[in-house]
Each structure stands twice: as structure tokens, then as C-alpha cells.
Structure 1
Amino acid sequence: MREANILFDYKGHLPECPSWDVQTQSLFWTDILEKEIHGYQPSTNKHQIFKFSEEVGCFALRENGGFIAAMRSGIYLTDTDGTVTKKVCDNPNNPVLARFNDGGTDPQGRFYAGTYWSPRDYNGALLCRVDADLKTTVLQCDILGANGLAFSADGRLMFTSDTPNHVIYRTPLDENGNPAERRVWKSFPRGNGRPDGAAMDEEGCYWSALFDGYRIARFSPQGELLEEHRLPVRCPTMLCFGGPEMKTLFITTTRENMSDEEVRERPLSGAIFTLEASVAGLIKPKFKES
């Protein structure tokens, strides 16, 4: 079991959606509740903060520069300094009850964004996709908290998790990205961690941040547990691969809804950790616009 280290002197509120930029060798992530996107370049220790008027649930870097960002009211394009330049679509959920949560791009550079149904009275969240022409399509419903988005290298399998429901799904996709029937790939018992954000490695294995579980885990393409790595905090939220060889895991964690006592006991909650993996991860493409 390898040891996780702190990336740099930073602790956020609800860091999520870590994304590695190969071109600049920089890590980007959102702090949802602080309404920010952050960028950090390890080689120079440069830390940027882009502030927004709404929670940014997830985002992706754009090939044209800037971000595509899923905020509470809708999905937007921004320029390189974070200034909003275009609204892509409204939030297809009720934005009062459901903010955007997990998301990212597939191997073809299409952007996916899922929502979180805050009332938690039924599975009212959804997953949508933005294509290169900025057309937005709702792909899946019957979700409580959309998470765990990752794709096989050929883009023909999509993995998602529903964190509050303790389940990971696998969905076949056709050559145009249209989904077939979603099926349960792995279920988790209550009380030992819930599958949150995820990433895929080059061997087709799925890495999951186990919220409330103090650890991250690697699963084979068949769902077999291959590795677990403990963290000194209770709630990892997501991970991504990066670094010069794409073998560094960057792991976001949170201190949301933690008491002052727990924060004192686990002062690294909200920090970003790094862990060296034995296998490289898949590069996360930038959003491609036509």
C-alpha cells in the first residue's frame, strides 16, 4: 500500500472534478460550495482561482481555451480568465432542487454533466451530454446523486456511480455515443464507503473515491477489487490521473457538513492528495467544439 501525500498547502470546502492539463502540466478542480475553479501548476507552485456567481458542479477544459462549466442554472462557456462568454443550455433539472455535480469528457471530447437531487425524496437527478455543436441531450434519469463518470479507452463503455444509492453502473455506448441499457456493475454495502468520483487507467481498471470510506479503490474490468489505498480523511470526493507520465493520482477531499470537532481531528479534510500509481491513467480529452 503506497502512502498519499499532500499536493500543496491548500484546503477547500468541497473540492471536486480534478482535471489534468497535459499541455501546461497543471491540475484544475472546482470547489463547488465556494463557487470557484482552481488551477495549480506543481512545477512553479502557481495557484490560480477563478470565481463565479454560482456553484460550479463540474467542468472541462476547452480545446479553444477556457472552460465549459456546469453551474446551478445551466451550462456555460468561459474564456481563459473564467469570464462567461456563452450560455449553452439551462439546467434540465429544477435548479432550485438540483445543482450540477459530477462530469467530464468522453474520448471523443463530448461533455457530460450529472446533477444531484437535494431533497433526496426520490431519484430525481439526471445525466446530460453536450456535443460539439453545443446540442444538449438528457441521457439518463432515475439517479439520486450523479457521480463516478469514466469511459473505456474506445468510448464504448460508460461508467457512472450513484453515490447516495451505493452503486456503480456500466452503460454500453454505440459509435455515436448513444446509450444502451444501464446495468448495475457493482453495489456496495452500507457503512463502508460510497462510490464517488472516478477515473480510468490504461488497463481498463476503474478507480473510485469511496466517500465516507477513508480510501480509494481500484477495480478490474470485471469489478474485482484489486487495490485499496487509505487516506487520513474520511471523505475523498474524486480523483484523476496526471503528472509527466500520467501515473500520479490527484485526489480531492471535502470538509462539507463536518463538525468543528471532526475538522480538528482530521485537519487535512478538504486537502488534495497525490498518490503514485503503478499504471498510467487515460488522458482526459478537452471539450471539442465544432
Structure 2
Amino acid sequence: MALLRVIERDRRDVLGEGPLWSARDDAVYWTDILGHRINRLSLAGGAVESWRMPGYTGWVIERESGGFVAGIGREVAVLDPDGTIIDRIARIEPDRAGNRVNDAKADAAGRVWMGTMPITADKPTGGFYRLDPEGAVTLVDHGYSIANGPAIGADGQTILHTDSGLGIIYRFQLDAAGNPGERTEFIRFEPHWGKPDGMTFDAEGGLWVACWGGGCVMRFTPEGERDRIIELPASQISSCTFAGPNLDRMFVTSAAVDVDEPLGGALFEVDPGCRGLPTHRYRG
């Protein structure tokens, strides 16, 4: 039977998201978007800490020069190692007060790829953006109702992005300068799978997808064929990441919003049976 561990702590996430492995800190970080929090699990001792943030906190990513950057509301903020905001470096969609940032990943070039969505999750006003190290923000794609789960391939030339509302995972190919081509449909979810949410690649090119409403994480082959399912004791599974010195442990976030489940909003650890890819940092 596969490993399944519930991380012990004194609270559940309203909307857990964005798990991040930090080899620097030997810790897993993740956010509670609706709870306005950043959480940290120390792998060495198992202690969990939590910091209250001033708004919807979609993601947190390590910064090459130290500390972190985080998507809060419609801004990108710089945080010190203890989670205190020390600067704000970018505004996203300043003219769309009804939107917020949702999920993001950094690539090997030190850029951050992130999505936005309406707070109400009911209209296609969200977008997909690239934040460059010098602070420039570029619109990559638009028309998302629930922008989710960037995943970056090992070659650095393939980026996947999801509209959870439509149940579609899209693929973008990047040129040598990091500019994406036209999006193509990669995987369309069957209705009984739930909705594709956060995603990550493993070292073999497999894609792991958290299934919102499906109570599991699924693995897809590089060709987009479903080949493995790990079921979890919560329905709203939101994202996953590989962690640990060998990148062979997987941590999975979930949500408690709109459900009455004992483990809704828990952080889980499962055995993926494979290894992941290293975490990249923002170079700005």
C-alpha cells in the first residue's frame, strides 16, 4: 500500500495551494489563498509555522538573492526569510479589481510564470503572465476563468498551463528567448476525473496533476496518457510538489472551502514512486 501521511498541525487550509520545495531551508512552503497565509513545514523536525499575509496569497517562490517573492492580491511582493514584506516589485492587472493572482512557477532562467483569475471564478477575465528578472511583466495568454498549475518541463522549452474551469491543460513551446508560441491543447479532463489544478513534472517527463473534485493526483505520460492515480481522503486536491534531498517525496495540498470533510484543507505526503525536478528561483 502506498504511503499516505497527514501532516500534523493545528489548522486546516481554507484553500491550500502552491507547494514549494526549498532545498536551502530543508522545508516545504505552501499558501492558503483564502486564509491569507504562507505555511512552512520543516522536514528535519516536522514543525509547521504559518505567517498571516495582507491579502489573497496565491504563491511563494524563492529568490536567488535571498528571501522570497510572493503573489499577493494583484501584486508581487518581496519577503525576507521570515515572511515579512519588505518591497513590492510589480503590479498585475491594476485595472481589474475583481481579479487576483492564483498560481506560479519559476523556470531555469529565473523568470516567474503566473496566472490570474476572477475572485468569483465565474468569468474569463484572468490571464497568464511572465515576470522577468528585471521586473517586466508580459501578458502571455488571456481568457481564463480559473488559471492554474504552471508546470515547466526539464528542457525548459515546454510550459503547461490550465484553465480549471474548462478542464483543459494547455501547452506552450518557448523559443530561445523565452517567448511562447501559440497554445495547444494537451489534455482534456474527463468529467469524472474532477478538474485539473496544480501540476508538476517528474524526472521521467511524467506530469502529475492535482484533481480538484476528484480526490486524487494523477500521473500522465509525456504523450498525455493517464497511467497512475493516487487517491486521497479529501475531494478538493489543489497542487503537488516533489521534495526532500532526493526529490522522491511528494506533498499535496487541499482545500476545505465549501466542503464538510475531516481532512479537507490538510497537507498530505504520498509516495510517488519516482523523483521530481529541482526547484528554480526568481533571479530578480
TM-score for the superposition, normalised by structure 2: 0.95
Matched to 2:82, the amino acid is D
- Count of matched residue positions in the alignment of Structure 1 and Structure 2: 283
Unmatched runs of 5 consecutive residues or more in structure 1:
none
Give runs of aligned pairs for residues 29-178 of structure 1, distance below 5 A. 29-92=30-93, 94-120=95-121, 122-178=123-179
The one-letter code sitting in structure 1 at the alignment partner of 2:270 is L
Deviation at 1:238, TM superposition (A): 0.2
Amino acid at match of 2:196: P
Deviates more, 1:85-94 or 1:183-192: 85-94
Aligned to 2:238: 237
Contact conserved, 2:74 with 2:99, CA < 8 A, in 1? no
TM-score by length of 1: 0.93
Structure 2 residue 276 is the aligned partner of structure 1 residue 278: no
User: 2:122, 2:14 → 1: CA distance?
Assistant: 25
Rounded to whole Å, the distance in 2 between the matches of 1:273 and 1:181 is 35
- Aligned partners of 1:134, 1:50: CA distance in 2, in Å? 25
Residue 287 of structure 1 aligns with an amino acid whose one-letter code is Y
Asked if 1 retains the 8 angstrom alpha-carbon contact of 2:111 and 2:283, the reply is yes
Q: Which runs of 4+ in 1 moved over 6 A?
A: none
User: C-alpha deviations, 1:4-35, integer Å up to 9, x for none?
Assistant: 21122352211100000012210000111111
Q: Which amino acid aligns with 1:132?
A: P
After superposition, the Cα gap between the structure-2 partners of 1:233 and 1:224, relative to the gap in structure 1 and judged at 3 Å, is same
Question: For 1:34, what is the secondary structure of its paired residue?
Answer: coil
| Structure 2 CA distance for aligned equivalents of residues 18 and 175 of structure 1 | 28
CA shift, 1:85, in A, is 2.1
| SS at 2:262 equivalent | coil
Match of 1:180 in 2: 181
Distance 1:61 1:121 in 2: 31
The 2-side partners of 1:174 and 1:4 are apart by 40
Identity %: 29
Residue 269 of structure 2 aligns to which amino acid in structure 1? Answer: T
What SS class does the counterpart of residue 193 from structure 2 fall into? coil
- Deviation string for 1:109-164 (max 9, x for gaps)? 21122111234554210011111111111111121111121111121000111111
* C-alpha deviation, 1:217, in angstroms: 0.3
User: Is the 1:107–1:154 contact (alpha carbons within 8 Å) kept by the matching residues of 2?
Assistant: no
Aligned to 2:191, the other structure's residue is in SS state coil
Which 5+ residue runs of structure 2 have no aligned equivalent? none
For 1:249 and 1:95, the matched residues in 2 are separated by: 35
Task: Report the equivalent of 2:5.
Answer: 5
Q: CA deviation at 1:67?
A: 1.5
**Partner amino acid for 2:267?**
I
| Other-structure match for 1:193 | 194
Deviations 1:178-215 (A, max 9, x none): 00010010111224310000111011111000000011
- One-letter amino acid of the structure 1 residue matched with residue 7 of structure 2: L
